[in-house]
Amino acid sequence: MKTNLMGRSSTTDSKRNLERQHLFADARRVVVITGAGISAAAGLATFRGPTGLASTDDMTERLSGRHLEADPEDVRAFVTGMADDAARCEPTAAHFALAEWQRSLRAKGGDLTLVTMNIDGLHERAGAETLELHGSAHRLRCEQCAAMHAGPWTSDPCRSCGGQVRADVVLYGERVMVEPEWKVKRALPDADLFLAIGTSVETGTISSWARFCRRDYDVPTVLFSLDPSPAAAEQFDVVIDGQADEIVEYIATSR
């Protein structure tokens, strides 16, 4: 199914809304990717994107893998600050609605693969099983033995081997997490809806998933984002310009 509802002047708004709601209501196997926009309502500054925390060259440099080698203390302070900010926030209505949608689809024999670029842990706290493409600011990884430990990121060595630990997050210049990416690629061919929420679709990863959906799998693609760029919008069949929390109304139609 391919429905490009952007700019179709003959379609009334109400009919357009109905078509959009059908996409959600009929979906049984959904892949959802979320970005910083979904956590903005929780009070968190965005990690990536044109209005985000990491929007300047300076921030991009401070959160880079290269800087971790040069000045690990500075990166640790930055990531620890992000983890502290996230810990002070609560999941939003959109986080809870996605968790409930995942439970409800699974109860009906369907599935919702939820993958996020956020490292704030809010999807997990809302009760969703989540694939973290950029890792988590609340988890540590030993660079020597690869053991995982719960945060916070202090200067303490690995409890297993004494090696150096770091936050299990993807810094600029580093590759996204392999296992989440692999699981999404496995879920896409069988999906009946690919939904991106609160992301500027700047990363090549999401662009390539949207391309697979449209070109290879015939999966409808929906971008739900505040003020999406034309470059981002043209990669999706349906574009909904809205606050992330407004997704709750669309998910409600799937019950």
Q: Residue from 145, 186, 241, 249 that binds Zn ion (CB under 5 A)?
A: 145
Does position 148 bind Zn ion by CB under 5 A?
no
Stretch touching Zn ion by CB under 5 A, among 110-118, 125-133, 157-165, 202-210 = 157-165
Applying the rule CB under 5 A, the residues between 207 and 236 that interact with Zn ion are none
| Residue of 6, 105, 147, 248 interacting with Zn ion (CB under 5 A) | 147
Q: Is residue 50 a contact point for Zn ion (CB under 5 A)?
A: no
Asked whether the beta carbons of 134 and 117 are under 8 A apart, the reply is yes
Q: Distance between CA 212 and CA 217 in Å, rounded? A: 6
Number of residues that bind Zn ion (CB under 5 A): 8
**CB contact set of 113 (below 8 Å; sequence gap of 6+):** 30, 31, 32, 131, 183, 184, 187, 191
Residues contacting 87, CB < 8 A, separation 6+? 138
Quick one: 107 or 150, whose CB is closer to Zn ion?
Answer: 150
Active site residues: 134
Give min distance, CB of 162 to Zn ion, in A: 7
Under rule CB under 5 A, residue 81 binds Zn ion:
no
Minimum CB separation from Zn ion for residue 68, in Å?
17
- Please state the φ and ψ torsions of residue 27, each to the nearest 5 degrees: -70, 135
Out of 43, 163, 173, 189, which residue is the one contacting Zn ion (CB under 5 A)? 163
Closest contact distance (angstroms) between CB of 210 and Zn ion is: 38
CB-side exposure of 239: number of CA atoms within 13 Å?
A: 20
Beta pairing partners, 221: 194
Q: Are 237 and 208 in contact (CB under 8 A)?
A: no
Q: Is 158 in the site for Zn ion (CB under 5 A)?
A: yes
CA distance 81 to 85: 6
Stretch that binds Zn ion, among 136-144, 167-175, 201-209, 228-236 (CB under 5 A): 136-144
**Contact footprint for Zn ion (CB under 5 A):** 142, 144-145, 147, 158, 160-161, 163
